[in-house]
Amino acid sequence: MFCPKCSQAQSSDEMRYCSRCGFPLETVTLLLNSDGVLPTQQANPNRRSHRSRVATESSILTLFSWAIAIICTLGFDAHGIYEGIAKIGAFTFFLLGFIGLFRFLYAFLFLKMDPVETKSGQRSIAEPKPAQLPPQQTIPISDFQRRTNTREMVPQPSVTENTTRLLEEE
């Protein structure tokens, strides 16, 4: 497979990004496998985002716990062991309700909706993502300074030849 942006030959068809320019190749692979037709994704109307599921579970937990806690408060007038059980149950279920409330607030404030989910609740075909790798950065070879070749020294007489010549002059 070749990158459609820079024509770089890819070493494997499972490559997710071009090794030269960083172009995402997932859609290209999808197109090649389906004879050039982009398959449509079927929207699942029953699927909700993680944020929506957590918020729904938390609100059900909160309402159920506080309802049980209110019912337990009706047993405060009971005498004996039932009064103690009612107080412990009311306290426990009120705390459980607060945990559900804090979980709901966490989902509402910090969890994000699915990025491909539209306002109508239908999922659309994933929009093209920007390249995940930085753009190609190359420095032409001509800009590098060449190192001098240390094996090829400027021709000079060796130390022994110079010493020999000095001894002969004496």
Q: What is the pLDDT of residue 103?
A: 93
Cα–Cα distance for residue pair 115/132, rounded to 1 Å: 17
Which residues touch 74 (CB under 8 Å, ≥6 apart)?
86
pLDDT at 134 over 80: no
Q: Which string of b and e fits 87-115 if b means at least 16 CB within 10 Å?
A: eebbeebbebbeebbebbeebeeeeeeee
Contacts 24+ apart (CB under 8 A), 147-150: none
By the 10 Å C-beta count (0-12 exposed, 13-18 middle, 19+ buried), 65 is classed as buried
* Number of helical (H) and strand (E) elements in the chain, helices listed first: 4, 0
pLDDT digits (tens, 9 = 90+) for 47-72: 778 888 899 999 999 999 999 999 98
Distance CA(35)–CA(47), nearest Å, equals 29
Angle between helices 50-73 and 81-110 (to 10 degrees): 160
Query: What would the pLDDT profile of 82-113 be if each residue is shown by its tens digit?
Result: 888 999 999 999 999 999 999 999 988 888 87
What pTM was estimated for this model as a whole? Answer: 0.43
pLDDT tens, residue by residue, 116-128: 444 444 444 455 5
Percent of the chain with pLDDT over 70: 68
Domain extent listing, the chain: 1-37, 50-110
Q: Which residue has the tokens 């172009």?
A: 23
